[in-house]
Structure 1
Amino acid sequence: MASVSVSRIVPAPPDRVWQLIGGFGSLPDWLPYITSSSLGEGGRRRTLGNPEGDTIVERLVAFNDQERQYSYVIVEAPFPVSDYISTLRVHAVAGDSAASEVQWSGRFVPTNASEDEAVALFSGIYDDGLEALRTAFS
């Protein structure tokens, strides 16, 4: 099983950052790779669209508003992985109430790609997304 973890310091308080990214259907509000999101199954399943016209279906498996984190699995996607689970978290930064650390991590089994290729794919998505988020709050 391969894993990826990317984090970024965002110049905004944790509650403000979580307000933007904490909704399971909110990816199009901050992640450039995702252009659309629709929720189903009482908000526990999201169907995402990207600029290439691909569909990605994910299911929420854990949500903790107080701890500002959620985890999800991929149900269907054009990615060369299986057994994908990911967590998005917002942490307070010690000594700086005006900043947050956002961490996006995932574990998966590469299929039809090398581990390096699969890790690079998700590292790029996470890194680009968190950089866009940081920029949005700058």
Structure 2
Amino acid sequence: MPAWSVTIDIDAPPDRVWALVGDPTSVPRWYPKYAAAEVDGDIRVLRTAEGGELRERLLERDEGRRFYSYTVLSGAPVASHFASFEVVAEGAGSRVRWATQAEPSDPSADLRGRLVGTQTEALERMKRIVEAGEA
């Protein structure tokens, strides 16, 4: 299964960054494709303004490590999927790592090529929110 990760350094303490990253309902704040997010048990549902829905299962969560993982259940063109976020101390600030493993439903699709740009933009938005003190 193809795997990749994107990272960003944020000028803020890890606990402050984790307050945003670790909140599974915060996705619409930093990933503009989604207008709403809700969690019921271990199921997260992300909705677009147009009514599209992405259903995910929240898997492992480790507050001490500032880590959580999830998998897509429906709403994306993937045959298999696993992703995680981790926030670690980096110098006087933090580093966020978003790791993804995914197999597209269509074997000819370049899922990594399609997602890395939007994942990078999302992390840059996250950085602006945290560094502006809005998290």
Normalised by the length of structure 1, the TM-score is 0.87
Task: Structure 1 unaligned segments of length 5 or more: list them.
Answer: none
Correspondence 1:7 to 2:1: no
**Which residue of the other structure, out of 103, 112, 115, is the alignment partner of 1:122?**
115
**Which residue of the other structure, out of 67, 86, 102, is the alignment partner of 2:65?**
67
Deviation at 1:83, TM superposition (A): 1.2
Deviation at 1:30, TM superposition (A): 2.4
Task: Structure 2 unaligned segments of length 5 or more: list them.
Answer: none
Report the Cα distance in structure 1 between the residues aligned to 2:130 and 2:15, rounded to whole angstroms.
13
Percentage of pairs with the same residue: 31
Regions of 4+ moved over 6 Å: none
Residue 56 (structure 1) aligns with = 54
Normalised by the length of structure 2, the TM-score is 0.89
Alignment of 1:1-138 (within 5 A): 1-40=1-40, 42=41, 44-77=42-75, 79-93=76-90, 95-96=91-92, 99-112=93-106, 114-115=108-109, 117-138=110-131
Report the Cα distance in structure 1 between the residues aligned to 2:102 and 2:25, rounded to whole angstroms.
22
Check conservation: 1:80, 1:113, Cα contact below 8 A.
no
What's the C-alpha RMSD, in Å, of the aligned pairs? Answer: 1.5
Deviation at 1:31, TM superposition (A): 2.0
Report the Cα distance in structure 2 between the residues aligned to 1:122 and 1:113, rounded to whole angstroms.
15
